[in-house]
Amino acid sequence: MSAELHDCRIAFSKTLETLAEENEAIVAVCNDSVGSSKLEGFRDRWPDRLVNVGIAEQNMVGVGAGLANGGRLPFVCGAACFLTGRALEQIKADIAYSNANVKLCGISSGMAYGELGPTHHSIEDFAWLRALPNVPIIAPADRIETAAAVRFAAEFDGPLFLRLSRVGVPDLLPEGHVFELGKANRLREGTDLTIIANGTLTHRALAAAEMLSQRGGNARVLNMATVKPIDEEAIVAAAGDTGAILTCEEHTVYGGLGSAVAEVVVQSKPVPMAILGVPGIFAPTGSANFLLDEFGMAPDGIAASAEALLKRKG
């Protein structure tokens, strides 16, 4: 794990531009969010292919569906909180149910907008979209996985939701990593318990595992970028091999990654579990990193939860 932190939006927009050079069908759709989606380069190179609908998320998602119907490959980009919250019914009817080949790109997801407050936090999007059929959900952990996921999105025939952050994260996955939908990456081997995380939490989970190892605990770490379809095989193997699972996510503890993992665990291989996330409250003022620490997801907080879980495991 390198110490340098990177804003994954840059990998997102650079990859999108590379793909757009080769594939003329690609268009970007946004809601006055050219800057926050890092689409300035795309706009300057292909002004016609940047469809900015203004501050109108319902229309943005509908327009995305229509563009796909008309033969284009739309990447619909907006702040995740507005894209998923404001336009949820459009995502349901126009995208998921209509099977529109639209790539929904939720920018600055989780608590990336930090001090702007809970109106701007997108900590419900896993839960909302997980409830809809036909929308794979992907939350990459670093810039390498982000680039790989964008390339995957362009190839994949059907809708999906790409959940991106602006909070800096270190490189975790190897250069040249190829994204596979529904496939977790085992980033650390371990036998006592498994920590499952994605997005901005993966590097924190790895740091927690290192702390734990200094205290005699041995944690497996899975990066589970795909929240849906969930990697059941990796979860069942983790439960069988390590006997306990701790999940961490920049999302409410209701209905997100932890819930998705728990659904597999309770039905296939029940083992003690703990779910870390935003504990069902509107977050107080603070940056994303401050809030993650506040909610027990600093590396030492995660390590402490892991130790508590190990005690329950017995």
Partner 1 sequence: MKAAELRRLANEIRRRDLRAVYEAGAGHIGGELSVIDLLTVLYFHTLKVDPKNPRDPKRDRFVLSKGHTACALYVVLAEAGFIPKEEVATFLHPHSRLNGHPNCVKVPGIETNTGPLGHGLPVAVGMAKAAKLNGDDWQTYVIAGDGEMQEGSNWEAIMAASQFGLDNLTLIIDHNRCQQGARLVDTNNMAPFRPRVEAFGWAVIEIDGHDIDQIMGALSPDAVAPGKPRCIIAHTNKGQGISFMQDRVEWHHKVPNAEQYEQAMRELEEAASR
Where on the chain is the footprint of partner 1 (CB under 8 A)? 27, 48-49, 51, 53-54, 56, 58-59, 61-72, 74, 89-90, 93-94, 97-100
Distance of closest approach, residue 49 Cβ to partner 1, in angstroms: 7
Q: Is 57 a catalytic residue?
A: yes
- Strand pairing report for 50-52 and 273-278: unpaired
Helix axes 257-268, 232-242, angle to 10 degrees: 70
> How many angstroms separate the CA atoms of 125 and 17, rounded?
26
For the bound state, the minimum distance from the C-beta of residue 8 to partner 1, rounded and expressed in Å, comes to: 27
- The answer to whether 211 and 219 have CB atoms below 8 angstroms apart is no
Contact 140, 129 (CB under 8 A): no
Question: Which is the catalytic residue, given 57, 124, 145, 250?
Answer: 57
- From CA 162, how far away is CA 141, in angstroms rounded? 12
- Closest contact distance (angstroms) between CB of 69 and partner 1 is 5
Measured from the CB of residue 133, what is the shortest distance to partner 1 in angstroms? 11
CB 223, CB 172: distance < 8 Å = yes
Beta bridge partners of 248: 197, 276
By beta-carbon proximity to partner 1, the closer residue of 4 and 157 is 157
Yes or no: say if 206 and 294 are a contact pair by the CB < 8 Å rule.
no
> Which is nearer to partner 1, 32 or 263 (by Cβ)?
32
Q: State the DSSP string of 297-308.
A: ISHHHHHHHHHH
Q: What minimum distance in Å lies between the beta carbon of 229 and partner 1?
A: 19
Sign of the C-alpha dihedral, residues 125, 130, 131, 135? positive
Known catalytic residues?
A: 57
